[in-house]
Structure 1
């Protein structure tokens, strides 16, 4: 096992162009499960390939257990990588697929068989060692690919969207298996995904990238509760945080004609930066809902998602005298669309008028131009 350090590591595909990975600083502790997440083109897979030795490092360094990997061939880095497409040999059995890297490394037949049996027992594949990949489900094939990595006992596991080819139900069960397995083995693991729910449920810490830059590196709870900027706030959470550009008032901010008071220290921070507007963030669960005519901001319910234990109301805000007619946009514009989480069987229906009140304790404020947290 080992720690992994990205030290101002960069990858530039075209000279003079924007880096695919831009001066990435990241430390993965020995035995830690770290997830790289971000939208398409954010640089997460490139960063993983740089660590694997499949992409050059154009600036900075990457170190594994203190050893600089610049110029070190992939085969000499003592890493094992699991891809999304399994990459199994169709003409070999499960046992032969798992034993293949050991055979290439020169281990004798008995030693190979012992390691394969041990890995198969961990992964629940003992009864499938004599089967060919075509006789396995997608989740089982992915476990075989992981078993092939486990038998090598590498210093670092790298996983590049290994669950993307599985159906939704299989993804949930397999991600639980992977997380439990990693914690059992204690091997340093770097995992790439575009799915923020996957990232939040699997990683000890999560690194969120955008445009090749690290936006925030923290525990899932810290990413959710205290995002460093508006991008992180809008990316983490399902559904995402509600973000509104709102004017600053003497007592706080004004949202859809409703003044929301803010603590003095927050008002002082806004005043010190001489801001006339801020970006206000409110999580879907931080609203209270009352019937039309109650206290709060008037809103129309456009869509209701019933999820059993919870329900999500997608609607449109309006000022007290504003128009909530059926001609308004289904999802609203950037600054009047709202998502609210309520208890299951909320009773709300499309077209209902409700009043919304945000929890002041759960508000997030960001700079309207830089997006930085205030």
Structure 2
């Protein structure tokens, strides 16, 4: 096992073009499970392939266990990679597929069998060792691919969207199995996905990339509670954070046809004429349009709350324990807003409501740079 360091690592496919990975700095601790996440084209898979030795490093360096990987071929890096495609041999049994990398290294057959049995026990595959891949489910096949990596006992596991071929229910169960397996084995793991739910539920820390650059590297809780910039705020969370670029007033901000007053300490962080305000769907207090949305101890009412923000509901999604209200504000642009409430609220399309955020949940970003204030 070993730590992994990206030190200003870059990858440029075409001279003069924008780097696919631009001066990436990451320090991954020994035994840590780190997820690289981001939209398509963000550079996450390229970064993983650089670590694996499948892509050249055009600037900076990558180190595994303190040893630089510049110029080191993939086969000499002591890593094991699990791809989206299982790449199993259909004519071999599960046990033979798992033992294949050891066989190619010339490992004694008794040692092969011992390692395969140990990996099968970890992955719950002991009863399937004599089956062919065609007799397995998609999740079981992915576990076989992982078992083939485990028997090698590498310093680092690399996983490139291994759950993409699974259905939604299987993805949930398999991601739980992968996270539990990694914690039992204690092997440093770098996992790539475009699914922010996977990233938030699996990783000890998450590195969010966009346009080849690292946006934030933090625990899932910190990414959610303290996004470093507007991009992180909008990417992490489902549904996404509500983001509004608003004119600043003496007491707070103008939103819709209302003035949203902010606590003095919050208002004091704003120096420009406009600001981007972020409020997560679950961080709204909702009242019907005939009354006012109260703040109380949890509201904006520390310095005297306004009457809240008027909105009209367009769609209600009932999810049982929760409901999502998709609405628009009472302004010329009919700015969309998403609200998460308890289930069976009785809200209906066309209802007028008043929304009030709570002060501790406000996120402010510079309207120009997008950086957190």
TM-score normalised to structure 2 length: 0.94
CA distance in 2, matches of 1:3, 1:263: 44
CA-to-aligned-CA distance 1:132-183 (integer Å, 9 cap, x gap): 1010000000000000000000000000000000000000000000000000
CA distance in 2, matches of 1:278, 1:165: 41
Q: Please state if 1:346 is matched with 2:345.
A: yes
**Aligned ranges 1:167-316 → 2 under 5 Å:** 167-271=167-271, 275-295=272-292, 296-316=308-328
* Contact 1:156/1:189, CA 8 A, preserved across alignment: yes
Partner of 1:328: none
Q: Please state if 1:369 is matched with 2:355.
A: no
Q: Structure 1: give runs of 5+ residues left out of the alignment.
A: 323-331
- 1:97 counterpart SS class: helix
- 1:2 counterpart SS class: coil
Partner of 1:327: none
Q: Please state if 1:94 is matched with 2:94.
A: yes
- 1:269 counterpart SS class: coil
Over 3 Å off, 4+ runs: none
CA-to-aligned-CA distance 1:261-300 (integer Å, 9 cap, x gap): 22333333312xxx10000000000101111222232211
**Aligned ranges 1:122-141 → 2 under 5 Å:** 122-141=122-141
Root mean square deviation, CA, Å: 1.0
The number of aligned residues is 358
Q: Please state if 1:144 is matched with 2:141.
A: no
CA-to-aligned-CA distance 1:100-159 (integer Å, 9 cap, x gap): 000111101100000000100110000100111010000000000000000000000000
Partner of 1:36: 36
CA distance in 1, matches of 2:41, 2:162: 18
Shift of 1:367: 0.6
CA-to-aligned-CA distance 1:217-254 (integer Å, 9 cap, x gap): 00000000000000000000000000001111111112
CA distance in 1, matches of 2:127, 2:111: 20
* Contact 1:260/1:360, CA 8 A, preserved across alignment: no
* Contact 2:263/2:359, CA 8 A, preserved across alignment: no
CA distance in 2, matches of 1:344, 1:368: 35
CA-to-aligned-CA distance 1:328-370 (integer Å, 9 cap, x gap): xxxx76xx10000000111112222211111122000001111
- 1:5 counterpart SS class: strand
Partner of 2:298: none
- 1:224 counterpart SS class: helix
TM-score normalised to structure 1 length: 0.94
* Contact 2:319/2:343, CA 8 A, preserved across alignment: yes
CA distance in 2, matches of 1:25, 1:294: 51
- 2:323 counterpart SS class: strand
Shift of 1:40: 0.2
CA distance in 2, matches of 1:260, 1:292: 16
Q: Please state if 1:355 is matched with 2:350.
A: no
- 1:16 counterpart SS class: coil
* Contact 1:366/1:373, CA 8 A, preserved across alignment: yes
* Contact 1:98/1:148, CA 8 A, preserved across alignment: yes
